């Protein structure tokens, strides 16, 4: 028996589509907030995917060889929650009734780790497309390493007009085409509606021509959003394509089948009225009762997915039969590609001067063979940033196992693609660019932090030391901007050896935090003696004492290259009979996580204190009495001149300490 409203749908699929369509109205209406229309229009596509195509098993939601499904248009989250419920995942009726409510498992936009079937945190439009590119890269690399018997899944993304309008879709689509990611399929929900009104207000692109130009396989099913057989045939065509990613264009009608709300902009972001819901439910043939959910439907759907469960069980047999290789795959997936460090990177010699960005290359050379999960790349600045895997080939269709990824001049997409790799599992992505371009990556960094993605964002050329490139390329406010981001670990090492240690910490941690590693362009002294010992013991705590004296009268504090200024000023003041102590604070968030006693011992706020950092002073008063820094844009001149111009020097600290002490006598 087929459904008479949704062409080609079986009786069971039709029931699922109707229930999800009704739920898409009920949940936003109850919450007085949410997006009904897109979820209603996409219910047939979602049910077709979960019923006929996706490699998944609700009895094992985290099966590692499952297909990845991403709802890039995350405002339609009720669609994903409805699909998860109908197909037997752990999304209960009470979860659906709590849509958009505090601490529920059905938040306003999909959040990784909150709801079953949600692979990445989406909502800001377009990022899900780039996340999908990252997941497709992850699958390709692992399939190359372990073979198709153990790794053999696909990535499916649903995106809307807004996703394609956002610039990240251009960056990600272009790279995916260049890499020939044939196991990636994006559905473009072409509903012609935005919050402001018809898309024609601002959009006249030809998406088919655009993605064809990127090198994608493009299928346009036109007015077939409600014909599940047509949709399935398009999907089968995408699966048969072995050289290119696929874009499937679906002309849907937002709010279908509501006679009052269909094709109206109000259907995008406004809950439907009671009368509109009643009329639409009459057409759907479902009771006019809020949250009328058939308790038998999830059980029936799970039973219908028996073949998928058989696929998973057969996969488990193959993994077991693979012996050590199968065990290695499971371990790599479980640890997210953590390094098994048996040989540490060789330390830089005491007394030399080395830019911390150069330490990054030594770390890559040392740990690449010890961390099978590493991928590394840059937004067209590979040699400048030192994120080069000398033992790997460039990722491409010809080299599917290549871990060196050339992202091109695409910082935003690079960030979101790395998030996709990290959340795929089995990989530990590292990507790099100049620090000033963290502005381009910031939205992806934010979602990485929100979702707990183990990504290492490497930013070099960390201050006005960039020099002649001038204020357009000299980061000033960027450290504070990133430090303000919840959960993100912003790390500015004190020297090259500390950089090696902190990179090793990230690579070897089982669940590394999202990390921004901030490195210098210019050479800076390598710590030696007791200073080096203090760094080795304390750097991973985020803050530590380099020079301590019980009779100290002042604390000097810095990060990165300015730690050396603190040490020089300490020596000069000691020669004048003024006893100071020196503190390095490479990671504020790590330091704040330490015990109160530890923090008190490091800061010693009973003493007057001053910080120095070649960036904005905002925020430093949390740790010191006064801050020396740069609260203006930079200057186009040689780096040394710029530092002197802004008084980022030991002499500035010496003068400040003397003035404060003179004023207190």
Q: Which residues are catalytic?
A: 411
- The secondary structure of residue 498, as a DSSP letter, is H
Which residues fall within 8 angstroms of residue 36, CB to CB, at 6 or more apart?
24, 25, 28, 29, 78, 255, 261, 267, 271, 272
87 within 8 A of 58, measured Cβ to Cβ: yes
Instruction: Give the whole-angstrom CA distance, residue 352 versus residue 462.
Output: 20
Residues recorded for the chain: 665
Give bridge partners of residue 547 from the DSSP assignment: 582
Vertex 494: Cα angle to 492 and 496 (nearest 5): 100
Burial class (CB in 10 A: 0-12, 13-18, 19+), 321: exposed
Pick the closest to residue 183 from 142, 260, 244, 110 (CA basis): 244
CA distances from 163 to 4, 132, 190, 466 (A): 32, 13, 11, 35
Beta strands 580-584 and 544-547, pairing class: antiparallel
SS3 of residue 197 by DSSP: coil
Neighbours of 17 (CB within 10 A): 27
Instruction: Give the whole-angstrom CA distance, residue 23 versus residue 270.
Output: 15
Beta strands 626-628 and 217-222, pairing class: unpaired
51 within 8 A of 301, measured Cβ to Cβ: yes
294 within 8 A of 301, measured Cβ to Cβ: no
Determine if the peptide bond prior to 257 is cis (ω within 30°): yes
Instruction: Give the whole-angstrom CA distance, residue 152 versus residue 139.
Output: 8
Instruction: Give the whole-angstrom CA distance, residue 437 versus residue 412.
Output: 9
C-alpha 153 chain-centroid distance = 21
DSSP E strands in 210-318: the ranges are 217-222, 246-250
């Amino acid at each position: 028996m087929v459904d008479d409203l949704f062409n080609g749908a079986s009786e069971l699929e039709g029931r699922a589509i109707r229930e999800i369509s009704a739920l898409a109205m009920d949940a936003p209406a109850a919450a007085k907030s949410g997006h009904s229309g897109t979820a209603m229009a996409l219910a047939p596509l979602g049910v077709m995917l979960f019923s006929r195509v996706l490699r998944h098993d609700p009895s094992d939601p985290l099966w590692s060889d499952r297909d990845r499904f991403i709802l890039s248009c995350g405002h339609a989250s009720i669609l994903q929650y409805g699909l998860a419920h109908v197909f037997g995942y752990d999304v209960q009726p009470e979860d659906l009734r709590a849509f958009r409510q505090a601490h529920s498992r059905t938040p306003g936009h999909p959040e990784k780790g909150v709801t079953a079937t949600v692979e990445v945190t989406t909502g800001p439009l377009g990022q899900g497309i780039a996340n999908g590119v990252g997941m497709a890269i992850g699958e390709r690399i692992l399939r190359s390493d372990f073979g198709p018997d153990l790794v053999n899944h696909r990535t499916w993304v649903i995106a809307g007009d807004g996703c394609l309008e956002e610039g990240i879709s251009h960056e990600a689509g272009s790279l995916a085409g260049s890499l020939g990611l044939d196991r990636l399929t994006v559905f473009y929900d072409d509903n012609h509606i935005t919050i402001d009104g018809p898309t024609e207000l601002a959009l006249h692109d030809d998406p088919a021509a655009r993605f064809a130009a990127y090198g994608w396989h493009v299928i346009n099913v036109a007015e077939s959003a409600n014909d599940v057989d047509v949709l399935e045939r398009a999907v089968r065509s995408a699966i048969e394509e072995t050289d290119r990613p696929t874009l499937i264009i679906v002309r849907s009608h937002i709010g279908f089948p509501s006679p009052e709300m269909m094709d109206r902009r109000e259907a995008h972001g406004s809950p439907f009225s009671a009368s509109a819901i009643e009329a639409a439910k009459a057409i759907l043939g479902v009771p006019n009762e809020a949250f009328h959910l058939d308790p038998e439907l999830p059980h029936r759907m799970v039973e219908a997915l028996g073949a998928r469960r058989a696929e998973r069980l057969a996969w488990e047999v193959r993994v077991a039969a693979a012996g050590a290789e199968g065990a290695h795959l499971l371990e790599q997936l479980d640890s997210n590609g953590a390094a098994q460090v048996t040989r540490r990177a060789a330390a830089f010699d005491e007394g030399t001067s080395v830019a911390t960005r150069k330490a990054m290359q030594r770390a890559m050379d040392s740990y690449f063979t010890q961390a099978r999960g590493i991928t590394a790349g840059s937004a067209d600045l590979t040699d400048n940033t030192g994120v080069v895997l000398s033992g790997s080939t460039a990722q491409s269709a010809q080299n599917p196992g290549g871990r060196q990824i050339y992202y091109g001049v695409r910082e935003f997409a690079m960030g979101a693609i790395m998030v996709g790799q990290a959340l795929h599992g089995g990989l530990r992505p590292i990507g790099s660019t100049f620090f000033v371009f963290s502005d381009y990556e910031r939205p992806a960094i934010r979602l990485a932090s929100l979702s707990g993605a183990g990504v290492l964002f490497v930013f070099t050329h960390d201050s006005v030391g960039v020099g002649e490139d001038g204020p357009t390329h000299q980061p000033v406010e960027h450290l504070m901007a990133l430090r303000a981001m919840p959960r993100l670990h912003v790390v500015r090492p004190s020297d090259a050896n500390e950089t090696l240690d902190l990179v090793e910490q990230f690579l070897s941690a089982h669940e590394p935090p999202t990390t921004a590693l901030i490195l210098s362009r210019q050479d800076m002294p390598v710590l030696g003696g007791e200073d080096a010992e203090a760094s080795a013991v304390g750097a991973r705590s985020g803050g530590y004492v380099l020079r301590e004296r019980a009779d100290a009268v002042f604390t000097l504090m810095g990060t990165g290259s300015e730690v050396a200024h603190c040490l020089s000023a300490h020596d000069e003041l000691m020669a004048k009979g003024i006893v100071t102590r020196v503190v390095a604070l490479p990671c504020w968030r790590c330091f704040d996580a330490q015990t109160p006693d530890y923090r008190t011992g490091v800061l010693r706020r009973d003493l007057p204190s001053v910080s120095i950092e070649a960036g904005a002073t905002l925020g430093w008063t949390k740790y010191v009495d006064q801050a020396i820094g740069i609260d203006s844009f930079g200057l186009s001149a040689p780096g040394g001149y710029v530092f002197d111009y802004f008084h980022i020097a030991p002499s500035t600290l010496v003068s400040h300490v003397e003035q404060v002490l003179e004023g207190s006598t």
